[in-house]
Amino acid sequence: MKICVASGKGGTGKTTVATSLAASFGEKIQLADCDVEAPNASIFFDVSEAEKEDIFLFIPQIDQSKCTGCKECERVCRYNALAVVLNKVMIFPTLCHSCKGCLYICPEKAISDGQKMLGSIYSKQINENIKIISGDLKTGEMASPMLIGSVQKKLDPNIHSIIDSPPGTSCPAIAAMKDCDYVILVTEPTPFGLSDLKLAVETSRLLGKPCGIIINKHMEEIRIIHEYANEANVPILMEIPYSRDLAVDYSKGNLVVSTRSGLMKQFKNTLDSIISENLGA
C-alpha cells in the first residue's frame, strides 16, 4: 500500500510525520522523499554511501548539417523551447517539457536526444526495515513532477510505502499523490493551516483518494481544525501536541519518535489502522 503524506501549506510537519511513521512501523517499509525541491527526509537517517542515480530528460539536440531551417520544430513546440533564427535552431532547455514533438516532426531527422540532467535519486537500505529513496532536483531545473515520477518508479510494489509529498496543490503535489492509496494531510491549527488544508482535502477528493488529518502543534483550546473536519467529514487520525521540545529535537535532525515511546506507539497504531482499513478497499 502507498500512503502519501501531504499538506497544502508548507512547514506543517509532513517530514516529521513521514519519518516517524516509517521509523515506528517495525516492519519492512519504503520511505520516498518526493519533495524534490526541498528534500529533507534523509536528514533524519544516516544516508552516507547511499546509492546515487542521475535522472535525465529528453531535450532536442540539433544536427545542424541536416537541418534545413524549415521551422516545423518551432511550430510544433507549444512551450517556445525552440526558435529558428537565420536558419539555425536555437534551444532553450529550461522551457522544454520533453514531449518529443520536435523529434517526431523533423522531416530531416536532424533532431536527437540531447539528454539534460534533471536531478538525482539517492537510495539506501537504512536498517532491516527501512529503505529510503530520495529525489533531489538539480538547481535551475523546473520539472519536479518528472523527477517525482522517477522516484516512485523505484518503489517495490510488494512493500508498503510512505511518500513525503511537496507542499501545495499543483502539479508537483499531484504527481506525488496520484498513485497513492491513501492521503494523510498534516496541518496546524492556524488560519493559514486551515485555509490550505481545505485545498488539500479538495485535491485528494478530486483524485478520488481517501484521506485523514494529522494535527501538528495541537493545542487543546483551539478547535478550528476539528470543526472543519467534522463539517467536511474527514477523520482526524492523530494529534501531535505543540511542544518546543519536539521542535528543538527536529531542528537537530533527530527522529522525534526515537526518545518518545508513547508517540511512537501512536504513529504505529495510526499506520496499522490505515493499512487494515484501506488495504484491498
Partner 1 sequence: MKELVIISGKGGTGKTCVSASFARLCEDKKILVDADVDAANLHLIIEPLDSEQSSFTSGVKAKINKDKCIECGLCIERCEFDAISDDFVVNEIDCEGCGVCHEFCPEKAIDLIPEESGKWFVSKTDSGTMVHAKLNIGGENSGLLINHLRKRAKQEAEKQNASIIISDGPPGTGCPATSSITGADHVLIVTEPTKSGYHDMIKAKDLCDFLKVPVMILVNKYDLNPEITDEIENYANKSNAVFMGKIPFDDDFPKAIMNKKAPVEYSNGQGAEVLKIIFKKVMENINKN
Cβ neighbours, 10 Å, residue 128? 7
Instruction: Out of 174, 183, 225, 264, point to the residue binding partner 1 (CB under 8 A).
Output: 174
CA–CA gap between residue 214 and residue 200 (Å, rounded): 13
Contact mark string toward partner 1, 247..276, x via CB under 8 A: xx-xxxx-----------------------
Closest CA to 58 of 41, 40, 77, 43: 77
* Selected binder of partner 1 within 20, 24, 30, 98 (CB under 8 A): 98
> Which CB sits closer to partner 1, 233 or 251?
251
Within residues 137-156, the interface with partner 1 by CB under 8 A covers 137, 139-144
Q: Does 239 bind partner 1 (CB under 8 A)?
A: no
Calpha distance 29→128 (Å, rounded):
9
Asked if residue 70 binds partner 1 (CB under 8 A), the reply is no
Show the cell assigned to 241.
Answer: 501536541
Helix, strand or coil for residue 1? coil
Residue 281 CB, nearest approach to partner 1 (Å): 21
Sign of CA dihedral 257, 258, 259, 260: positive
Contact pattern from residue 7 through residue 46 relative to partner 1, giving x for each residue in contact according to CB under 8 A and a dash for the rest: xxxxxx--x-------------------xxxx-x--x---
Ramachandran class of 115: left when φ > 0, alpha when ψ lies in -120 to 50, beta otherwise = left
> Cα separation of 130 and 218, whole Å?
28
231: Cβ contacts below 8 Å, ≥ 6 apart: none
- Nearest distance in Å: CB 183, partner 1: 13
| Given 128, 157, 191, 220, the residue binding partner 1 (CB under 8 A) | 191
Distance between the two ends of the chain, CA-based, in angstroms?
Answer: 11
Q: Which CB, 192 or 228, lies closer to partner 1?
A: 192
* Residues making contact with partner 1 (CB under 8 A): 7-12, 15, 35-38, 40, 43, 58, 76, 78-79, 97-101, 104-105, 137, 139-144, 166-174, 178, 190-192, 195-196, 199, 202-203, 206-207, 217, 222, 244, 247-248, 250-253
